[in-house]
Amino acid sequence: MESNIHPQSEPQIESGWLASVKRVESPNSDCRTDESDISLLVIHNISLPPGQFGGPHVEQLFTNRLNPAEHPYFADIAHLKVSAHLLIDRLGQVTQFVPFHRRAWHAGVSEFDGRSACNDYSIGIELEGTDLLAYTESQYQSLTAIARCLMIHYPQLSKERIVGHSDIAPQRKTDPGAAFDWAYFRSLMLPR
């Protein structure tokens, strides 16, 4: 299946939602303290169960429908109220869970550039993956197209303000991990 984000054409944002991507609204969001203060992009990774791809479990987690009896790992996380704005699966397909003008619950206890509570001013993007398994070309292409679009739509965002979860919560988090090729991603972000 081809990505639903095409790198040759800029994605469009309509009322906080990316046009032409799957939309599954998460109840795990709330109002930002300042909707005009979107100035950080945080890249995460997720796979449920860990190391397995392609199932419905991430969507179920973000919509509070994960069955704790379905896998031993789920018993520890099914109670969590978490979300991200976007999920990019291994094929580059994008699902949006929270509109950008709302606060998704992805960063937890976090700090960037001396400022805490990163959820207040960030957009969270989950890549389906693990810290140690290479991400796919389709994921890099979708992520790049989305990051470019977000920087145009939210001018406080910049390439310097695209970070990993490990950068804002280094004592707790390791994602997107050593497998994420920051140099390659930055090369994709260079002006065309």
pLDDT, residue 8, reads: 60
pLDDT, residue 61, reads: 98
With respect to residue 6, please indicate whether it lies within any of the assigned structural domains: no
Q: Return the higher-pLDDT residue of 86 and 10.
A: 86
Record the tokens describing residue 62, joined without a space: 């973000």
Prediction pTM value: 0.96
Residue showing tokens 């639903």:
4
- Return d(Cα 107, Cα 170) in angstroms, integer: 11
- Confidence grade of residue 102 (pLDDT, cut at 50, 70, 90): very high
SS (H, E, C) the chain: CCCCCCCCCCCCEECCEECCCEECCCCCEEECCCCCCCCEEEEEEECCCCCCCCCCHHHHHHCCCCCCCCCCCHHHHCCCCCCCCEEECCCCCEEECCCCCEEECCCCCCEECCEECHHHCEEEEEEECCCCCCCCHHHHHHHHHHHHHHHHHCCCCCHHHEEEHHHHCCCCCCCCCCCCCHHHHHHHCCCC
Pairing of strands 122-128, 40-46: parallel
With respect to residue 51, please indicate whether it lies within any of the assigned structural domains: yes
pLDDT exceeds 80 at position 114: yes
pLDDT, residue 3, reads: 66
Pairing of strands 86-88, 122-128: parallel
With respect to residue 125, please indicate whether it lies within any of the assigned structural domains: yes
pLDDT, residue 31, reads: 97
Its domain, for residue 88, covers 13-188
pLDDT, residue 6, reads: 63
Convert the pLDDT of each residue in 77-101 to its tens digit: 999 999 999 999 999 999 999 999 9
Residue 83, classified by CB atoms within 10 Å of its CB into exposed (0-12), middle (13-18) or buried (19+), is buried
Which range (8-12, 86-90, 135-139) has the least confidence? Answer: 8-12
Give the total number of structural domains in the chain.
1
With respect to residue 2, please indicate whether it lies within any of the assigned structural domains: no
Q: Would you name the residues annotated as active-site residues? A: 126
With respect to residue 35, please indicate whether it lies within any of the assigned structural domains: yes
| Sheet strands side by side (includes 22-23) | 22-23, 94-96, 86-88, 122-128, 40-46, 162-164
Quote the percentage of the chain above a pLDDT of 90.
92
Convert the pLDDT of each residue in 148-165 to its tens digit: 999 999 999 999 999 999
With respect to residue 98, please indicate whether it lies within any of the assigned structural domains: yes
Any idea what the CATH number is for the domain that residue 83 is in?
3.40.80.10
pLDDT, residue 91, reads: 97
Record the tokens describing residue 176, joined without a space: 């997107």
Convert the pLDDT of each residue in 55-77 to its tens digit: 999 999 999 999 999 999 999 99
With respect to residue 162, please indicate whether it lies within any of the assigned structural domains: yes
- Return d(Cα 178, Cα 28) in angstroms, integer: 29
Convert the pLDDT of each residue in 31-41 to its tens digit: 999 999 999 99
Name 174's bridge partners: none
